[in-house]
Amino acid sequence: MNDVAWDDLRLFYHVARQGRLAGAAEMTGVSSPTIGRRMLQLERATGRTLFVRRQTGYELAHDGKVLLERVKAMHGLAQAIEKWRDDVMALPIVTISAGTWMSRFIALNLSHLWSPEDAFCLSFKTAEARVDIGHREADIGFRNDRPTSGNVAARSLAQVRFAPYCVRGFDQESNPNWVALGTDVAITPSARWTVAQPNLWVTAWANTPSMLLDLVKGGAGRALLPCFIGDNDRQLVRAGPPVAELDHKSWMIMHDDERRRPEVRTVIDRLVAVFDDQAALFRGDAARS
């Protein structure tokens, strides 16, 4: 086996798995005739018959099956080494988790948080359910209340206010329609508020906040939205006063260890600056007439 190269064993692995030279060629980029010659060389080098060659393809002989089991382990180690090499070469990633509304706000302000010159990447996890920052499911997250446990740090951000909105031109006098999230997906107080009002006529239901916003813009009715979403959209106008009972602080949550990574610290500082700059928008003080 001293004359057997890993490249030949790698080709053997793909021929054994595919059962055809053409299949192995597709996987490796090496031509079928070249692979065929190298399999003959491998058999000579090992002194074993590795394949039973048929018109339908390459079937493993007994010694080929034995070799395949050993090569599988080598292939796994080679892939692990390649992944390790790629990880070393890859840029560090900062993962941000937020609900739909906050994710939308962050995306609209991305230029203040990241640039192509930054030596890190951003990864976004948009979900209404909370991710576990303490167990590193994300580096940075956003919540409506301060966590009381876990290996996390918390920073108070802007005061968040909600109000009803409709699309410009919507006839608020004669059209009483409202749009709401379905009760099976409404997991926050603001999402549940509409269906909790006994006198509101809900005629359209959405299963995601994004669809809720699209329905409002399509003229389906009014919907309760965060002011930092509604007041920032030129297609929308207020359809009523803010709902004070839903006012709350937004909290940025960080893993207590991960927040010390330079790239995570950079993103945290930039997020704080954006929230400070946009505080009036979050408070609902930036409504358009």
User: pLDDT of 260-275, one tens digit each?
Assistant: 899 999 999 999 999 9
Please tell me the predicted confidence (pLDDT) of residue 88. 47
Neighbours of 37 (CB within 10 A): 11
Neighbours of 277 (CB within 10 A): 12
Domain segments of the chain as ranges = 6-89, 93-160+247-283, 162-246
Chain centroid to CA 96: how far? 9
Q: Mean pLDDT per 10-residue run, the chain (289 residues)?
A: 76 91 88 92 91 90 90 79 63 90 95 91 85 82 84 91 96 94 90 93 94 96 97 95 95 89 94 95 82
Nearest residue to 143 (alpha-carbon basis) of 190, 98, 105: 98
Chain centroid to CA 13: how far? 34
Please tell me the predicted confidence (pLDDT) of residue 1. 47
Nearest residue to 281 (alpha-carbon basis) of 224, 230, 238: 230
Q: What is the pTM of this model?
A: 0.67
Domain 162-246 in the same topology as domain 93-160+247-283: yes
Please tell me the predicted confidence (pLDDT) of residue 27. 84
Per CATH, is 93-160+247-283 categorized as 3.40.190.10?
yes
Which top CATH class is 162-246?
alpha beta
Residue 284, Ramachandran bin (φ over 0: left; ψ between -120 and 50: alpha; else beta):
left
The alpha carbons of the chain give a radius of gyration, in whole angstroms, of 29
Cβ neighbours for 238, distance < 8 A, ≥ 6 positions apart? 163, 164, 165, 230, 231, 287
CATH topology of domain 6-89: Arc Repressor Mutant, subunit A (1.10.10)
Q: For 22-73, write each residue's pLDDT tens digit.
A: 989 988 889 999 999 999 999 999 989 999 998 888 999 999 899 988 888 8
230, 165 Cβ separation under 8 angstroms = yes
